[in-house]
């Protein structure tokens, strides 16, 4: 186990710091976050092996989350109408990472009839003091600066994942606000904490996710925006489909598919790129194995869930088809969700795609071997998934 030098993380101290910075606010809301936060502190001290940059990163990240919780509860108290916002029939895009979920999400979000959580909103879901809902949101500048810092620390990210403070992004960062998400595992190797997190009841986290979506919807309306429904996106929902459906009973799910033999080395490269700048030592094979095992287990969870009577709530789309005919696949989704793909929406989507082509970003380089993978090993790890969704498409 790789300990962080100095064991600097203390939950009580961080909560006290957050309260002082939030002007003495003391209500953090539902205390479901306390146990996962305290166990995360233990993991950061005892297994993360953080360097000085990693210690600073996590200290600020945790403190920011706690301040956000305090300020959110203050907003809910002063504006109880926030929690009366209705989240109607959201569309959730899920799938293994690197299967085209981001491209589909951002393309669909260009339809002005759809609300989508933007990067700066999921990173900083509570308005800063002094926000007037007229001027440019001050959170945007902070988000832009954070993205610049991330790209300076790990320039390879530009080739792996498009970073845009104003672009639609994953609602997993809203789940992070109650310390139930896998976001900490993305920036540090936390295998024991990850196993614990996988085994606990995730419904409290999803209930908080809904509260924050209601808050974001209320904010968007204050800025003069309107839409019919939300389009969400997070591969994370593969881990916990039951919690997703219990929280949003009318959700429609688009599941993207791609051969794990192709995608896992790319994903491992991304996770190593995020974690390496934070650690004294980072092992490519260890990080790759951790995430490979997690995704294989979670895919089985989703398959069992679908088999238990929810299969008709999912629409399957294959990565190759989204590359060849993205609007055709989106048209299938709109029909599935009971919406019309209008000519105006189609034009908006075409315009967005033309401005955001993959060729405009640097190439992403990686190999199976450097992450400890073999084609045979990955095929075996994801055997059941590949037999159901991948091999039949190849005529095997």
Strands, sheet with 252-257, edge to edge from the N-terminal-most edge strand = 114-115, 229-233, 91-95, 252-257, 314-318
Nearest of 276, 219, 269 to residue 371 by alpha carbon: 269
**Structural domain for 115, as ranges:** 88-394
pTM for this model (two decimals): 0.93
239 belongs to a structural domain: yes
122 belongs to a structural domain: yes
Query: What is the rounded distance in angstroms from the CA atom of residue 261 to the CA atom of residue 214?
Result: 38
Q: Do 93 and 233 contact (CB within 8 A), yes or no? A: yes
83 belongs to a structural domain: no
Q: Tell me the sheet residues that pair with 257.
A: 318
Angle at 116 between CA 220 and CA 30, to 5 degrees: 75
Domain count, the chain: 1
Nearest of 204, 217, 236, 201 to residue 92 by alpha carbon: 236
HEC per residue, the chain: CECCCCCCCCHHHHHHHHHHHCCCCCCCCCHHHHHHHHHHHHHHHHCECECHHHHHHHHHHHHHHHHHHHHHHHHHHHCHHHHHCCCCCCEEEEECCCCCHHHHHHHHHCCCCEECCEHHHHHCCCCCCCCCCCCCCHHHHHHHHHHHHHHHHCCCHHHHCCCCCCCECCCHHHHHHHCCCCHHHHHCCCHHHHHHHHCCCCHHHHHHHHHHHHHHHHHHHHCCCCCCEEEEECHHHHCCHHHHHHHCCCCEEEEEECCHHHHHHHHHHHHHHHHHHHECCCCHHHHHHHHHHHHHHHHHHHHHHHHHHHHHHEEEEEHHHHHHCHHHHHHHHHHHHCCCCCHHHHHHHHHHHHHCCHHHCCCCCCCCHHHCCCHHHHHHHCHHHHHHHHHHHHCC
9 belongs to a structural domain: no
Q: Give, as one character, the DSSP assignment of residue 189.
A: -
368 belongs to a structural domain: yes
168 belongs to a structural domain: yes
Nearest of 239, 217, 216, 235 to residue 227 by alpha carbon: 217
pLDDT tens for the chain, 396 residues: list them: 577 766 689 999 999 999 999 999 999 999 999 999 999 999 999 999 999 999 999 999 999 999 999 999 999 999 999 999 999 999 999 999 999 898 899 999 999 999 999 999 999 999 999 899 999 999 999 999 998 988 887 777 766 667 889 999 999 999 999 999 999 999 999 999 999 999 999 999 999 999 999 999 999 999 999 999 999 999 999 999 999 999 999 999 999 999 999 999 999 999 999 999 999 999 999 999 999 999 999 999 999 999 999 999 999 999 999 989 999 999 999 999 999 999 999 998 888 887 766 555 566 677 889 999 999 999 999 999 999 999 998 865
Nearest of 251, 235, 219, 73 to residue 161 by alpha carbon: 235
What is the CATH number for 153? Answer: 3.40.50.300
162 belongs to a structural domain: yes
Helix (H) or strand (E) holding 256: strand 252-257
Query: What is the rounded distance in angstroms from the CA atom of residue 219 to the CA atom of residue 222?
Result: 5
29 belongs to a structural domain: no
């Amino acid at each position: 186990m790789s300990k962080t030098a100095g064991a600097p993380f203390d939950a009580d101290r961080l909560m006290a710091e957050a309260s002082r910075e939030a002007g003495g606010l003391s209500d953090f809301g539902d205390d479901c976050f306390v146990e996962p936060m305290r166990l995360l502190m233990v993991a950061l001290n005892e297994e993360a092996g953080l360097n000085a940059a990693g210690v600073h990163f996590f200290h600020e990240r945790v403190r920011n989350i706690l301040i956000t919780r305090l300020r959110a509860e203050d907003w809910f108290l002063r504006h109880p109408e926030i929690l009366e916002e209705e989240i109607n029939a959201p569309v959730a895009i899920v799938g293994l990472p690197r299967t085209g979920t981001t491209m589909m999400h951002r393309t669909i979000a260009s339809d002005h009839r759809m609300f989508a959580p933007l990067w700066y909103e999921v990173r900083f879901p509570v308005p800063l003091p002094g926000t007037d809902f007229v001027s440019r949101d001050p959170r945007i500048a902070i988000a832009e600066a954070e993205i610049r810092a991330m790209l300076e620390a790990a320039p390879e990210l530009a080739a792996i994942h498009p970073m845009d403070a104003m672009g639609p992004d994953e609602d997993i960062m809203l789940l992070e606000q109650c310390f139930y998400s896998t976001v900490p595992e993305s920036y540090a190797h936390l295998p024991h904490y990850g196993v614990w997190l996988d085994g606990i009841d995730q419904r409290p986290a999803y209930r908080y996710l809904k509260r924050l979506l209601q808050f974001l919807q209320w904010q968007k309306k204050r800025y003069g925006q309107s839409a019919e429904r939300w389009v969400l996106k997070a591969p994370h929902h593969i881990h916990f489909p039951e919690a997703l459906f219990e929280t949003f009973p009318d959700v429609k799910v688009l599941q993207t598919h791609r051969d794990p033999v192709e995608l896992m080395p790319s994903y491992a490269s991304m996770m190593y790129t995020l974690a390496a700048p934070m650690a004294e030592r980072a092992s490519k094979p260890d990080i790759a194995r951790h995430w490979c095992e997690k995704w294989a287990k979670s895919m089985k969870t989703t398959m069992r869930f679908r088999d238990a009577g929810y299969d008709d709530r999912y629409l399957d789309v294959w990565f190759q088809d989204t590359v060849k005919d993205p609007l055709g696949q989106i048209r299938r989704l709109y029909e599935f969700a009971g919406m019309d793909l209008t000519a105006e929406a189609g034009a908006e989507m075409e315009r967005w795609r033309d401005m955001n082509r993959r060729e405009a970003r640097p190439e992403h380089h990686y190999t199976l071997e450097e992450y400890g993978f073999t084609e045979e090993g990955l095929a075996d790890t994801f055997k059941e998934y590949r037999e159901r969704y991948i091999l039949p498409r190849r005529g095997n």
